[in-house]
Structure 1
Amino acid sequence: MRFTLRQLEIFVAVAQTGSASRAAERLALSQSATSTALAELERAYSQVLFDRVGKSLRLNDTGQWLLPRATQILDRAHELEESLSAHTAVGPLRLGASLTIGNYLATLFVADFLQRHPESRVQLAVHNSTAIVSSVARFELDLGLVEGDLQHPDVIAEPWLRDELVVFAAPSHPLAGKGSLTRDQVLAQDWILREPGSGTRGTVEHAFGEDRQRLKVRLELEHTEAIKRAVEAGLGLGCISRLALRDAFRRGSLVPLQVRNLDLGRAFYLVRHRHKYISGGLASLIDHIRASTAGATSTDDIHLSPVP
């Protein structure tokens, strides 16, 4: 073969970071060694893999074709190295989760998985759903757990668990305790919502349909806990997963609002690159996640320890 695994590793790092210098930092190499290895790979096959745009490197068509295949070879090589080293560990596995899933579910699954595989390593990244899907598409994550079906041509999304959003308010809000509400009543209020690009924001806007233009968004926040605090302070209505509101509803610091003709149901999805090689470790993690929620028809069926 005219290529080495090291050259493929450098190629993938450059493709993901967009520059030889950032790839060198990731791989703990000098920039000259990184650039030389990439040039040798291109020269060996008389192929140009990147378009040079200023100081950045962007994959051309040949590079786009090579990236999933190079990543798959590296994944298999890492798995083979673990086996030959008689390693009992699984990993390292790169898992990404949207904020609701990451804050309330993923850490539970990962903790249980690591207890069952004590020598394993799992990296958990928590961002909004759009960022997780993009990272999966760039092979930066092995698996993503996201809210809502976000379409991407390079990503496979498999339904995993049902969830429901809830419109909520502070107990002192004028609409609290009013019973069944109309869309017009809630649309006349100020709202505290997640940022655009989040699965939660997408579900809210889809539920309101054409009426979403009437949402009076007073404040956009990236974290569910911040939204809860803002709503508790009386700044407006919120709408997030029921999963994140259990303790607040139990304490009475927040109250749910019933809105007629507003479907806030959604699905959680497992997402992976369609060309991603499923190693034994990754398959074990996927099986563990599915087994952990096998008896649940929705997030309401999942036990969470109450927060005082």
Structure 2
Amino acid sequence: MHITLRQLKVFEAVARHLNYTQAAQELHLTQPAVSMQIKQLEESVGLPLFEQMGKQTYLTEAGREMHHYCRAISRQLSEAEEVIEQLKGVRRGHLDISVASTANYFATRLLASFISHYPEVSFSLDVTNRATLLRQLEQNDKDMVIMGKPPDDQGLETEAFMENPLVVIAPPDHPLAGEAGISLKRLEEEPFVVREPGSGTFIAMERFFAEHGVNLKTGMQMTSNEAIKQAVEAGLGLGIVSIHTLELELETGRLVVLDMADFPILRHWYVVHRQGKRLSPVAQTFKEFVLSRASKMVTRSHLESA
């Protein structure tokens, strides 16, 4: 096969968007130019890479295989570029990371501090749910992710870097707001607003209350911590969230942390990537930065005052 890097770049954009027009806009090319590059690539491969059904574009089996190798080639080229720049003594490169939605409350601070030390580094940040993070790790799409405890059986390298306490929250006028040492059984009388099944918070909460023989009323499910906090503030029920999501609400008095027996549920944050992954110099530097600096940067004063 005689394939050019330009053809691979165009193919990757079309395969990602599954749309020639959007790929052309991203690459600042005309749509005929994109179509020509794809046609030449298909002629070189000897198989169609896309198929058209109505107005929808799909990858063929050969297209899916080519997309897999195309992404791998792109990652290796980026890695090579960063290694060469590192050998030149230039502290620059691109960092591509994903974080759990809960971790975004402190991840932006970490990135801001890191960029202040390495101003020539650029980054892409994807804030998403646990299922997507695991899929990205499986496909090796990101340099690394920041998330709660990942599974043990997926070939991942994980390192804990900071505690992640889960607490029970309520509006300040709730009857339990002024009580001390509230028993877990007392929570069975209250409705709860919880994260969706499959989220790290839901898994930890479900395991904790099952171990203590407590059955919560969890009829309302939300897909974000912001939605949970707003629902709790509106009086729809109690909630369980990471303390790291509450700094603003606790400072303004919009929510309170209940004084619960056996709480908080103590979890940890992890920096995660595929086992055996060769991190680029900038990714390795960021990982070391997170492991050494994160717990010192993220304030716990609101936890202690709560």
TM over 0.5: yes
Consecutive unaligned residues of structure 2, counting only runs of 5 or more, are none
Matched residue SS, 2:187 = helix
Q: Provide Cα deviations, 1:175-204, integer angstroms capped at 9, x if missing partner.
A: 331524134x31331222234554323332
| Equivalent position SS for 2:164 | strand
Letter in structure 1 aligned against 2:73:
I
Q: Map Cα deviations across residues 71-94 of structure 1 (whole Å, 9 max, x no partner).
A: 232233335556479693523322
Task: Please state whether the residue corresponding to 2:268 is helix, strand or coil.
Answer: strand
Q: Secondary structure at the match of 1:109?
A: helix
Match of 1:98 in 2: 100
> Equivalent residue for 1:27?
27
Is 1:304 aligned with 2:306?
no
Task: Say which is worse superposed, 93-102 or 26-35, in terms of deviation.
Answer: 26-35
Match of 1:37 in 2: 37
Distance 1:137 1:28 in 2: 31
Partner of 1:217: 219
**Contact preservation (8 Å) 2:187, 2:216:** no
The 1:290–1:250 alpha-carbon spacing in structure 2 relative to 1, beyond 3 Å, is same
1:205, 1:212 within 8 Å by CA — same for their partners in 2? no
> Match of 1:97, as an amino acid?
V
Q: Which residue is equivalent to 1:143?
A: 144
Q: String of CA shifts for 1:21-49, please: whole Å, max 9, x gaps.
A: 33333322233322332232232132444
Structure 1 residues 191 and 99 mapped into 2: Cα distance closer, same or farther (>3 Å)? same
Q: How many Å apart are 1:167 and its aligned residue?
A: 1.7
Aligned-pair CA distance for 1:212: 9.2
Q: CA deviation at 1:207?
A: 3.2
Structure 1 pair 250/84, CA: closer, same or farther in 2 (3 Å)? closer
8 A Cα contact 2:85 2:91, kept in partner: no
1:1-308 equivalences in 2 (<5 Å): 2-50=2-50, 52-54=52-54, 55-58=56-59, 60=61, 62-81=62-81, 83=84, 88=90, 90-103=92-105, 105-135=106-136, 137=138, 141-149=142-150, 156=156, 158-161=158-161, 162-176=163-177, 177-183=179-185, 185-196=186-197, 198-209=199-210, 214-218=216-220, 220=222, 222-224=224-226, 226-245=227-246, 253-259=255-261, 264-272=265-273, 278-293=279-294, 296=295, 303-304=298-299
Structure 1 position 241, deviation (Å): 0.7
Give the conservation status (yes or no) of the 8 Å contact 1:148–1:268. yes
Q: Distance in 2 between matches of 1:150 and 1:27?
A: 37
Query: What RMSD, in angstroms, separates the aligned Cα atoms of the two structures?
Result: 3.7
State the identity %.
27
